[in-house]
Every structure is written in structure tokens, then in C-alpha cells.
Amino acid sequence: MWQVFSENWEFFLLGTYPRGPIGGLAMTLIIAVVSLAITFPFAIGVALLRGSKSVWVRRACEAYTTLIRGCPLLMLLLWIYFFLPQLLGFPLSPFTTLVIAIVFFQTAYLSEVIRGGIEALHKGQTEAALALGLKRWMIIWKIILPQALYNVIPGILNQFTSVIKETSLAYVIALGEVTYSASQVNGILMTRPMEVYMVLAALYFVLCFSLTQIAGLLDRRIARNRSAVR
Amino acid sequence: MISIQSLNKDFGAFRALSDINARVEKGEVVVLCGPSGSGKSTLLRTLNRLEPITTGRIEIAGVDVNSRGVDINKLRQKIGFVFQQYNLFPHLTALDNIVIGLTKILKMPRDEATKRAMALLERVNLTRRASNYPAQLSGGEQQRVAIVRSLAFQPEIMLFDEPTSALDAEMIGEVLALMRELAATGMTMMCVTHEMRFAREAADRVWLMEKGKIIVDTDKAAFFNSHPNERVQRFLSSIN
């Protein structure tokens, strides 16, 4: 297994870069970071709209999260891959296709995490801000969101590990990230699939394990800070 | 300054406030007391519209609090409100808890806001705590910061909702001292409290509430010196 990695590490980590396009684990990380960065503001938006005064807005957001949570990402990816270019009238790169799918999918989950953070806040925070005369959006922006997001940092990190695993679906639309790299290495070596896919597993494990460790650490620290408040 | 007319407030089928009629004059200090669940806090919270009312009318400095046209945020700046649980913003320092309102609501430049906030912290001997977060302050310190946070807007009325109920015994004194000092400056104040010490020393009037009604509205001397109403006697003996 070590031999397979040491002989092909550049391909596992970077794909054909610098001779060709960047790929491998680097691509996996790029997809995950870009997707999460776009997901984040959308998720905040949906989380806030679920507390909207309008029943219809609340219902629409609820319908969206329920629907998305009831369908597999792979199906969503195929829909976007085949239907969206027809609707738009121009082709989408595999990268864009995957990012759109993940953003659409993860917004539903991440908004639930953030909503949990908002609802966990003591209602006295809003009341104190109202009593001072702060406007609604100012209360959300300056009082509610900073506290809610801080409290759900571990949840957001855990969601990030999910995104990393989901990027492996890039394989089905021939986008060269780390799973795709592994299958190519396997195709060249032909005889050592076991070792190749053990390397792949190890790469995912190291990445996700370190993220969950950080999340756990932050979770304990945040819990400590919170108990100090009251 | 405050006028309440035929005020009713329902929570579903439960009538929390029932036909309240009362007035508070400028500079008066009114203590609201009564058994828990009698509607004291609810009454206080209707005054700055934290709690919407069912029927009736509340006027603060001539403004109908519940009319559609009223700029409620503007009105709330004139009415300081102090909570039992202090409700400081835990993600902001003591100083920033005061500054945020001044810069975001009054649009004051930051250095001017900081100056005013520091002056207020000095007034309550907490300048050395300016950069501490609420979690690092004692309950009494938090409540004093909460009080000057409201004072930063130079309000005309201060409302206190059981300001000392969450405090350890040794911290109650420092908060009551600040409130007495405030009363002495001629601030119009209403205070829900079980601290009869404060009522004896600083109140002008006492309202005794029971089952959503004000059953006694009298001046302090009459309240504490053998008031003829037997419910006053029962209340006083129940808390002593």
C-alpha cells in the first residue's frame, strides 16, 4: 500500500498538475471549500426565513429542506447534469455542476444546523435588544447571528466533513478529484486494486478524522464558555 | 408620564391583566409588589410593548404606545428596561454592551460613544471591568452594567423587572444602592420587586397586585404604616 502511494503520490494529491489540470486531493478540497463558502450565506438566509412572519415563506423553506433531505445527492447531481444546461441553454462544466448540486443539497442541512443555533439562544437576548430600541435586522445581524454561529461552529465543521465525502460523486461526471485519480491509478496498475483503494480510504480518513477532532475540541471549549455565562 | 386606561391582557383563555387603570407622575418611583403570577411583570412589559395588549390604552409622555403610527424604537429609547436575568450580550464586552446601542441606534461616532460609555461605567465603579465579557463579571456587576446600558440613552422612564431576584444576597445591596441613587435624581421609575427595603427607602407609591388586578394603589407611608386593607397586611406578613 505504501509503495502504491509513494510511486503515485503526486497523482493522488494533485492529479496531472502542473502538466495538466489540477486534480486529486487538491481538487477534492477546492470543491469542498468553494461549495461550503457558497452554501454558507444561503444556509443563513434559509435559517432566518424559517423564522419569518409570513406563513408562506416559512412553509416554502420547510418544503425545500424536507424535499432535499428526502432525495439522494447522486440523483440531484444527475438532474443538474442533464436538465440544467437545457434549461439555461448553455453547457456547464463538471466543476460547476457538482458545486451547484452540493450547494443545493447542503443548504438544506446547514440551515437546520444554524436554525438550531438560533433557537437555542435565550429569548432575553432579543428582548433586551428590542427594549434598547434596536431595529429587527440589526438585532439579527449584531446580536443573534454572532452568538448563534459561534455556538454551531462544531456543527458547521461536521457538515464540512460530509461535503468532503460528497465530492467523491465527482467521479460519475468525470471530474478529476481524488476518487477519480484512484480509479485512474488502478486502471494503470491493473493488478493492485486493494492497495489503491486502501490509499484512497486512508486519504479520506485522515482528512475527515482531523476535522471531526477539531470539531470535538471546539465543541468542548464552546460548552465550557457557555456554562460560564450562566 | 405614564397613564394606563382599562388595560386587559389575555394569554389565550387566561386573563393576565384585568381592567388596569393607573397613572404614574413624572419623577415618581412606584414599586409593584404582589404574589407571583399576579401580573406584575406582564404589566411592566406592556409599557414598552414587549408584551402586546388585548384591549385598553397605554400612554407614555402623551404617546399611545400601541397605536399603529408610533415609532416604537424611538419610544423604547425613552424607556429603560432592566431584566431579572440582566440579558447582557455575552459576545460583547461590558463597554461594547453600552457602545453598540449608541453607535447603532443614535448613530454616535465610536469615540464619542466610548467616552459616554466609560463615563457611565465610572459612575458605577466598573471602569476596570470595561473590557471584560459578561461571563467574567459577577451578577451584581452584570446588573449594574445592564442598568447603565439603559441609562446611556438618557431615558425619561426606567422600568425594573425583579432586578435583584437572580442575585446572591451580598450583591443585592450594590444594585439597590444604584437604584436609590437613580431615584434621588428624580428619574421616573417603576420597579417589580420583593425587596421591601427598597420600597421603604426609595418608593413614593406602592401598587399591590393580585390575580391581574391592582388591588391597592397607595403612597408608601400608608402602605407600610398599618394599612387598613387586610390583604396588604397578609402580603407584608407573608414576605417578612
Domain chopping of chain B, boundaries: 28-39+72-239
Q: Which residue is listed with cell 454558507? A: A40
Helix/strand/coil (H, E, C) string of A27-69?
A: HHHHHHHHHHHHHHHHHHHHHHHCCCCCHHHHHHHHHHHHHHH
Q: List CB contacts (< 8 A) between B76 and chain A.
A: 130-133
**C-alpha grid cell, residue B23:** 397613572
Best mutation target, B104, B136, B167, to test chain A (most A CBs within 10 A): B104
What is the layout of strands, in order, in the sheet containing B213-219? B79-82, B157-161, B188-192, B29-33, B205-210, B213-219
Determine the Cα–Cα distance for residues A164 and A28; give it in Å rounded to an integer: 7
Q: List CB contacts (< 8 A) between A142 and chain B.
A: 100, 104
Determine the Cα–Cα distance for residues A73 and A81; give it in Å rounded to an integer: 12
Residue, of A225 and B57, whose pLDDT is higher: B57
Determine the Cα–Cα distance for residues A84 and A93; give it in Å rounded to an integer: 11
Instruction: Please name the residues in contact with B84: beta carbons below 8 A apart, sequence gap of 6 or more.
Output: B161, B162, B163, B165, B166
* Whether B91 and A129 lie within 8 Å, measured CB to CB: no
Determine the Cα–Cα distance for residues B39 and B11; give it in Å rounded to an integer: 11
* B191 DSSP β-pair partners: B31, B160
What is the predicted pLDDT for the residue at B224?
87
Convert the pLDDT of each residue in A27-61 to its tens digit: 999 999 999 999 999 999 999 999 888 999 999 99
Instruction: Please name the residues in contact with B210: beta carbons below 8 A apart, sequence gap of 6 or more.
Output: B34, B35, B38, B231
The residue of chain A with its CA nearest to that of B159 is A131
Using CB atoms, pick whichever of B75, B90, B104 lies closest to residue A134: B104
Using CB atoms, pick whichever of A127, A134, A228 lies closest to residue B101: A134
Tell me whether the omega of the peptide bond preceding residue B109 falls within 30 degrees of 0, making it cis: no
Using CB atoms, pick whichever of B48, B85, B105 lies closest to residue A134: B105
Q: List CB contacts (< 8 A) between A147 and chain B.
A: 89-91
What is the predicted pLDDT for the residue at A228?
59
Quick check: B83 contacting A, CB < 8 Å? yes
Q: List CB contacts (< 8 A) between B100 and chain A.
A: 142
Convert the pLDDT of each residue in A68-80 to its tens digit: 999 999 999 999 9
Helix, strand, or coil (residue B9): strand
What is the predicted pLDDT for the residue at A230?
43
* Whether A131 and B88 lie within 8 Å, measured CB to CB: no
**Could you tell me the domains of chain A?**
2-229 (1.10.3720.10)
The residue of chain A with its CA nearest to that of B134 is A229
Q: Which residue is listed with cell 438544506? A: A108
CB neighbourhood size of A83 (10 A): 10
What is the predicted pLDDT for the residue at B143?
95
Q: List CB contacts (< 8 A) between A132 and chain B.
A: 76-77, 101, 105, 149-150, 153
- In 3D space, the residue among B160, B155, B50 whose CA is nearest the CA of residue B106 turns out to be B155
Q: List CB contacts (< 8 A) between A222 and chain B.
A: none
**What distance lies between CA A163 and its chain's CA centroid?**
4
* B192 DSSP β-pair partners: B32, B161
Q: What is the pLDDT along chain B (240 residues), one digit of tens a residue?
A: 999 999 999 999 999 999 999 999 999 999 999 988 899 999 999 999 999 999 999 999 999 999 988 999 999 999 999 999 999 999 999 999 999 999 999 999 999 999 999 999 999 999 999 999 999 999 999 999 999 999 999 999 999 999 999 998 889 999 999 999 999 999 999 999 988 888 988 899 999 999 999 999 999 888 888 778 888 888 888 876
Largest distance between two CA atoms of chain B: 56
What is the predicted pLDDT for the residue at B233?
87
Quick check: A132 contacting B, CB < 8 Å? yes
Determine the Cα–Cα distance for residues B80 and B189; give it in Å rounded to an integer: 9
Own/partner pairs for B135-138, CB < 8 Å, 24+ apart? B135/A225, B135/A228, B135/A229, B135/B90, B136/A228, B137/B94, B138/B171
ipTM at complex level = 0.92
Q: List CB contacts (< 8 A) between B74 and chain A.
A: 133
Asked whether the CA dihedral A96, A100, A106, A112 is positive or negative, the reply is: positive
The residue of chain A with its CA nearest to that of B81 is A131
* Whether B101 and A228 lie within 8 Å, measured CB to CB: no
CA of A103: how far to CAs of A27, A34, A111, B9, B19, in Å?
A: 17, 9, 11, 46, 55
Convert the pLDDT of each residue in A139-187 to its tens digit: 999 999 999 999 899 999 999 999 999 999 999 998 888 898 889 889 8
Using CB atoms, pick whichever of B90, B105, B135 lies closest to residue A133: B105
What is the predicted pLDDT for the residue at B236?
86
* B4 DSSP β-pair partners: B22, B58
The CATH superfamily label for domain B28-39+72-239 reads: P-loop containing nucleotide triphosphate hydrolases (3.40.50.300)
Q: How far is B228 from chain A (nearest CA, A)?
A: 38
Helix, strand, or coil (residue A202): helix
The residue of chain B with its CA nearest to that of A126 is B87
Quick check: A138 contacting B, CB < 8 Å? yes
- In 3D space, the residue among A87, A100, A117 whose CA is nearest the CA of residue A35 turns out to be A100
pLDDT higher than threshold 60 for residue A135: yes
